[in-house]
Structure 1
Amino acid sequence: MNYERINQAVQFATMAHEGQKRKVTSLSYITHPYTAALYVIDALQDLSLDEQVKENIVIATLLHDVAEDTKYDLEAIKDAFGSEVATLVTQSSEPDKEKSWKERKQHTINQLTNASFEVKCIVCADKTHNLLSILQDYEQNREEVWKKFNAPKTEQQWYYSSISEALMTNVSHPPTLFTTYKQLVMKLFHT
């Protein structure tokens, strides 16, 4: 992998998310894409994918929320990192933020069901970190944690469980990250 290019993506993501905080914790937002990228790097280690493909997955994971949640758009990502990365970011992002929570989540599930393996890895790393953050907060605050979200616990359970099913669709040999994600869904919603 080209570590210079990955370092460039780290810097780009850090600049783009400057000043933002995580929803569940008061940590700097950038901890999310960094952690998701670590998960995806670990998941890709044992897979026989081209090194350029792996590199693009890692970079897209670092940048997965940039177009959605910052002033930078997909053109800026494409200009800096190429069309392959921009496409992965697009396919890993939610559509129009003007739509309702349920519509956006259903769109994500539908897209993920037929998504490429690369996109599934990015989304899984993203959602795995989200689940771990929620689980950590849940262990401290129990049911109060759900008040921080735009949808109640039952809707969150539907969403995260549906993501798990979509991840496994058309994947004959899921990486450990996918099964870890499924276990986290069970742990959070069946405690």
Structure 2
Amino acid sequence: MTYTERFDRALLLASEVHRHQKRKGTQIPYITHVLAVAALVGNHGGDEDQVIGGLLHDAIEDGIKAFPDIRERIRGSFGERVLAIVEACTDADTDPKPPWKERKLAYLAHLRTDPDTGHLLVSLSDKVHNAGAIVMDLSVVGDELWQRFNVPKEETLWYYGNLVEIFEERVPSVLTKELGRLVRLMS
């Protein structure tokens, strides 16, 4: 498969949205995360819309304040399907965000019922990259890592455990097994 100029435009938009962000508790540019998610999607059979969805999966959540027209920009440049993928990966688009537990419960419920498993591949790729980053950071900074998050370690592990169960049921795959392996290493 080759990607079209749509991919190039998505890469530029992702860079614009995430240009000033860093990964939580690090100096790593946030754009590396969306690039890694897009690569995972592409490496696991995703089509161009899904790869673009991987590049833009956090664009609404992280960009709505600076780019109030972000939904229209995504729809206009990439179409309804890409917008649906990005919206499916968004757990909040308000400032302030709803409480953590409320957002995560709603997101888990959405994953259980989303009829489009194409959305799930992008979400799964996002969670695999995040879990991998947590495992790597744990090996460097130890349990201090958990202070970066809004909730204690137990809550994060609860969330990831639920993600594994849902993905095992909805999209059993090598990528799902990798998420389970990473979550076990997080414990």
Deviation for aligned residue 1:165: 1.0
1:130 aligns with 2:130: yes
Instruction: Percent identity, please.
Output: 34
Match of 2:14 in 1: 13
Separation (CA, whole Å) in 2 of partners of 1:42 and 1:76: 26
Separation (CA, whole Å) in 1 of partners of 2:39 and 2:57: 14
Is the partner of 2:44 in helix, strand or coil? helix
Given that residues 56 and 84 in structure 1 are in contact (C-alpha distance below 8 angstroms), is that contact kept between their aligned partners in structure 2? yes
Deviation for aligned residue 1:96: 4.6
Match of 2:26 in 1: 25
Given that residues 24 and 137 in structure 1 are in contact (C-alpha distance below 8 angstroms), is that contact kept between their aligned partners in structure 2? no
Q: Which sits farther off after the overlay, 95-104 or 151-160?
A: 95-104
Deviation for aligned residue 1:164: 0.9
Q: Which sits farther off after the overlay, 142-151 or 21-30?
A: 21-30
Is the partner of 2:19 in helix, strand or coil? coil
State the AA in 2 paired with 1:76: R
State how 1:1-191 maps to structure 2 within 5 Å: 1-44=2-45, 54-70=47-63, 71-72=66-67, 73-97=70-94, 98-115=97-114, 116-171=116-171, 174-189=172-187
Separation (CA, whole Å) in 2 of partners of 1:157 and 1:134: 11
Is the partner of 1:28 in helix, strand or coil? coil
Separation (CA, whole Å) in 2 of partners of 1:155 and 1:88: 26
State the AA in 2 paired with 1:113: R
State the AA in 2 paired with 1:11: L
Separation (CA, whole Å) in 2 of partners of 1:96 and 1:5: 24
State the AA in 1 paired with 2:50: I
Give the alignment's TM-score, normalised by structure 1: 0.89
Given that residues 6 and 77 in structure 2 are in contact (C-alpha distance below 8 angstroms), is that contact kept between their aligned partners in structure 1? no
Given that residues 34 and 54 in structure 2 are in contact (C-alpha distance below 8 angstroms), is that contact kept between their aligned partners in structure 1? yes
Q: Deviations over 1:116-172 (max 9, x none)?
A: 21111111111111111111110011111000100000000000110111112244x
Given that residues 164 and 181 in structure 1 are in contact (C-alpha distance below 8 angstroms), is that contact kept between their aligned partners in structure 2? yes
CA RMSD of aligned residues (A): 1.4
Deviation for aligned residue 1:177: 1.0
State the AA in 2 paired with 1:84: R
Given that residues 24 and 133 in structure 1 are in contact (C-alpha distance below 8 angstroms), is that contact kept between their aligned partners in structure 2? no
Is the partner of 1:23 in helix, strand or coil? coil
Indicate the structure whose relative CO is greater, using CA pairs within 8 Å and at least 6 residues apart: 1
Structure 2 alignment gaps of length 5 or more = none
Is the partner of 1:166 in helix, strand or coil? helix
Separation (CA, whole Å) in 2 of partners of 1:69 and 1:78: 17
Runs ≥4 in structure 1, deviation > 4 angstroms?
Answer: none
Q: Which sits farther off after the overlay, 25-34 or 65-74?
A: 65-74
Deviation for aligned residue 1:100: 0.4
Q: Which sits farther off after the overlay, 67-76 or 85-94?
A: 67-76
